[in-house]
Structure 1
Amino acid sequence: MENAVRYLTQYDPEVGALASAEAKRQQRTLSLIPSENYTSKAVQLALATAYANKYAEGYPYVWSDGSREDRRNGRYYRGQEYTNELERLAIRRALQLFTPDPGEYHANVQPLSGAPANLAVLSAFLKPGDTFLGLALDYGGHLTHGHGVNITGQYYNAVQYRLNDSYELDYDEIRRLAKQHAPKIIFCGATAYPLRISFRQLGAIARETGALLVADIAHICGLCVTGCHEHPFPHADIVTTTTHKLLRGPRAGLIVCKKPYGAAIDRALFPGLQGGPHMNAVAAMAVALKEAMSPDYQRYAGQVVRNAKRLSKLLQEEGFKLMGGRTDNHLLLLDVVGSAGGLGAKDGSWLAKQWETAGIVANKNTIPGDTRPWYPSGVRLGTPAITTIGMIDQDMVHVAEWIIRATRHAENETELRRIRDEIGQFMEQFAFESFYV
């Protein structure tokens, strides 16, 4: 980061100073937000290439008679020789990484993030007022799975399913709702669900009720493609994901689907929802997809899960209540109000703020029963970022100790500052220079 920031600071001292401060913050705190990660230098360099200058509305192909035709240029601007090659490369890598049979699937690498990807899928197959099923936000779902404050819950008839009393997906209840409401789409996947998802069972429900199954795997895509979690294909018809979480790519989205649904999704995204794609983000995505096919990434994904399991066990031993009772993936959802480990926390928002003073960065999160989303009872944390920098099972002992102390002394600023200093010193052993250009 030093060389890039030095150059930037010479040109724009204000932005350069902010970028330098942010890099130092990242290097001296525990990044435990499960949707954050560190990109490689190669991903960052791809974002800074000449592709940042190019407008590329359209696609490097056109659809003809229901099948994609790669030999024709579907762009609306000229000068697309290398944007076309780049996008085709990113598509090939996405199909190679995400699908069991690339010839039977289609990929769209243009979504600006996960929310536009989800909206594109809904608008491709639903008309306003049509019904779809999605997991409720306070049970671990995402805003774009039909929450009332989101456009997906306003344009469409979003029926929300919930988890059972053990914080597990209730497949019988999902089947009952699907039979009752006859949705055109069933959305699955979550942002705060620590247990395994059975795409096989959900696929059977979708086929039984005539719905398309859309798997939003933004949080677990890296686990799905490495065999650390059940893969949504072939059970799902469509998969959406972000590329900046476990995948360690740019802040962007990706849609992979069975080929018959490709044309409708492409048209829904462009010209339906977006104009020109961010081609520098597509370049960075292509790099991240290549990295995710390496043996190193396979080892990384497994370590993410091992770290999460070790951390969850250590926190449970100290009285923290884990929603679902455990974790099967990369994240933990703590009920910090209703557990002994929370030691009287006012709410998740307050505790996350106190943790940040101690150098522990997590996020507040709703749990079932919460009625005030800005002051929920939960805190969500995960291990993707700290695993990227090199932490292993044994390091979770330190992480758990700091979380426990910061919780017990949440109103003692002197102790919180002491923990922050300890964390800063601990972080010096990790090679952050590997992640900054």
Structure 2
Amino acid sequence: MMVIMSVLELVSLTILTQMSIGAGDFFNDDALFRLKWVDKVHPLVEEFSEENSVVMTTAENEQYRCFLPDSGSEEKKKTAYTGPSAKIVLKPLFKSKACVLKLEPYWTYELCHGKFLRQYHEEKLPGNNVKLLEYYLGYYEAPSVVPSPSDLIPTKKIDGKDIPYYEVLMSNGTLCDIKDKKARVTRLRYICDLQGRNEMVSLEEVSTCEYEGLVLTPALCSHPSYKVKDMPESNINCQPLTGSPVYPSGYQRLNSADTQNQYSPVKPKPVSQPRSSSQPTPKVSPVPIHPVDTSVVESFLKGEYCLNGGGREWWKYTFCYGKYVQQYHEEKGGVRSSTINLGTWNEDIHIKWYHSPERLRTTSLTTISQFYGNGDICDVTGKARQVLVKLKCKETLRLPAVSLSLHEPKTCDYILLIESSIFCSLISTVDAHGLINFSP
């Protein structure tokens, strides 16, 4: 062990003092180095040259020439990309009508990409009226300058990794009463996630009426500079010089001792270490996971927390679990008009549908399907409208972001797909009739 440690120390010392890698590169937390012993009869990879090597001597006077990796090779790869910029890659998303929701116990956040970010709370009033409290946290501001490929891409530390992001400014929001009537502004940071659904997974108020949000999107993954990079590992290849074995003697003794210990393990004696009472025993913390707020789940399952979709379209829709799916038009001030009932919840009707031969009998480990029938009569078919509601588990940083989409595959026959991590904990509670039995 002492021989190997001295070799590693020599490698470190020589890198710091003689080679172009430099102290900052060698002790970078995002880089790993592996020491490898290579037989002198096998040529090394061409990019290793004697100009980028050092000669080291072990305690037994065994000599090795160690070749250091080229620190500039990764930078060359970064500048080789000539495809569309991040702005161009995200343009289809910003031109689409896609909107997503982020749920919190009181506030709901609606992000319509390339349009606006809205914060609102709805309070049900007698009848069909709704009291709406809302603030626009910013409107989309298209970037005027396209960054060049050589520009430094900003990163954000998430779970110990530096994640590259593309920032979008949402400005000219609702005026802030606390901050001299200045408009609210939000900086949205879009990051690559192949499993993402363009959802906003976090939003925080970094200063009064100024916000920062994080959006996961697969669209950005086509740009190599925005992909999450694995921690690089570089080999330091060491060739024996004349008269030296391929593996240092100390290394061979260490391997031999390890092999023997596999068959006759020796338990080390416990050593008591003095510890100050002011310094508690450190605990190993797991990777941070953001749990779903159970109060949000409870309110949703009670039908108190309804989900709204449709963005700024003429027709919007709302889903109140265990109650109904409705389509409506919203006048100024949050007053709803032209409300159409697309489907109403009835447990007996759902169970009958769930066990009917017409239902496609496929077992899904990620989706809960429920039937809402007896909607308003359709003028075209003369039959009651109906909705198949699909609640799909979507693990995304385990945060309660929600995406909704309403489809009409047949006239007055709808499918409402809702994807969120809040449904992941509910999958295991579904009984033989497709009913959720959740208890916090």
Bigger proportion of residues as helix: 1
Bigger proportion of residues as strand: 2
Larger RCO of the pair (alpha carbons < 8 Å, separation 6+) = 1
Q: TM-score, normalised by structure 1?
A: 0.23
Q: Which has the larger radius of gyration?
A: 2
